[in-house]
Amino acid sequence: MIRRCLTVFLTVSLVFVSGCWDSVEIDDQCYLLALAIDLTDTGGLQMTASIPSVDSEKDTATPEERKRSMTTVTGRNIAEAIDVLIGSVPRNINLSQLKVLFLSEELARAPFFLQVLDDLLSYRGLRRMASVVICEGEASAFIETLQAVAGLQLSKSLEIAISAYNESSYLTHTRLLELNMQMHRIHGTGLAAIGAVTGEYEQAETVRNPVEGDVQPGDYDASELPHRGVSPTELFGTALFDAGHMVGRLSGYETQLLLFLRGEGRYNLIAVPTDEEDMDRTNIILRAQHRPKISVRDRGGMAAIHIDIPLRATLTQTYDSAGMDMEALRQRAEAIATRDMERLLRKLQEQCLDPIGFSGIIAREFLIIQDWEAYPWAEAYQNGEITLNVRVYLQQPSREPGGLPLELH
């Protein structure tokens, strides 16, 4: 009798200790790659998702339509919207592979935006390292436009686009968890990429090349959004956040300068006059020589900020520069970089925004957190003095027989 009871007990126990009893087959999973969230007229949230579909009953649909469809739901908060989304899809929603989270600028500027981020991070299974893009207009329009162009390559196309724009320093690549942490810091300023639908898409339409013609620094077509181009969507510029919501923005050119000041800039292109009469211009590539040296001190309730930033410059054009005054050219490039960086610093200081991290530097002067919290940083920063020392080192373009500078190959 004891042996029979023991046999029954062990048999039942094997059912519960099995590692597959609650598993879900991969064909029953629905992996979301992109998710868009907008603010509704009633103050709720609208969630738009690109849903991969395995339904092959629609014989008249194209392969792309059979593989992917858009689903839009609404809810009073993140949890409710996701629950409604789960209930509207006949398979198990899986957010662990989420690549990009699109948020409308209207939602980002809402006073409860930080709570939305907190709710997203607290939702079980949602990928915290998803990239964040703040969209002009409706986020749903951005994701729908991407779907129409990218088709089955939606995930890969987004990753390539973000990587390409990040390499050119036109945007800051911020993850969901990173943005949340930035906004929770004392005096922190959050950063996120800005995207926009650029208007009617015409494949044959061309965009003026910024390295040709009479181009002013920061005056490129791609430095502002929205604009018309060969791509229906663009990622350019930076959204700036205080401790609660979005409060400002930077253009693509300003973002390049910001990343240089943060020690993260990779590339910048400026048009520099080749003569005093400003009759001719040449294009120069700027890259960071070293990370900038930044010091921040308290001077009687005012912040004394000094920035020393070295930049490496290279000519992009390969014509004979024997008769060109290279020292004068270097000085003009240095003056333009200094002027534009000073404008950016004044803009940030007037809005009391600190994306460069000055507050983190002066915070090291305080022994305990209570002293730092009691320090009136906002007043000290806005009333403080910022001195900037930009040094540009101009390199002669070395050439291969083909004529292009070696480092541009």
Domain-embedded: residue 119 = yes
Q: Are 236 and 274 in the same domain?
A: no
Looking up residue 354, the CATH number of its domain turns out to be 3.30.300.210
Domain-embedded: residue 332 = yes
Q: Are 283 and 375 in the same domain?
A: yes
Q: Are 285 and 387 in the same domain?
A: yes
Element spanning 377, H or E: helix 377-382
Q: Are 128 and 99 in contact (CB under 8 A)?
A: no
Q: Are 223 and 343 in the same domain?
A: no
Query: Could you tell me how many residues make up the chain?
Result: 409
CA distance 271 to 213: 10
Looking at residue 66, its pLDDT comes to 43
> What are the residues facing 389 on neighbouring strands?
308
Q: Are 276 and 228 in the same domain?
A: no
Domain-embedded: residue 19 = no
Q: Are 81 and 229 in the same domain?
A: yes
pLDDT at 263 over 80: yes
- The string of pLDDT tens digits covering residues 308-365 is 999 888 876 544 555 667 788 888 888 888 999 999 999 999 999 999 999 999 998 8
State which of 191, 217, 250 marks the end of a domain.
250
Q: Residue 315 has which token pair?
A: 């000519």
Q: Are 94 and 227 in the same domain?
A: yes
Angle of CA points 31, 36, 41, to nearest 5°: 140
Q: Are 233 and 114 in the same domain?
A: yes
Supply the range of the domain harboring residue 52: 28-250
Query: How many domains are there within the chain?
Result: 2
State which of 224, 250, 276 marks the end of a domain.
250
Domain-embedded: residue 13 = no
Domain-embedded: residue 7 = no
Q: Are 200 and 274 in the same domain?
A: no
Domain-embedded: residue 2 = no
- The string of pLDDT tens digits covering residues 213-258 is 444 443 344 556 665 555 677 777 899 999 899 999 998 888 888 9
Rounded to two decimals, the pTM is 0.79
- The string of pLDDT tens digits covering residues 50-71 is 776 555 444 444 544 544 577 8
Domain-embedded: residue 3 = no
Domain-embedded: residue 68 = yes
CA distance 243 to 345: 20
Q: Are 134 and 280 in the same domain?
A: no
> What are the residues facing 29 on neighbouring strands?
92
Q: Are 174 and 291 in the same domain?
A: no
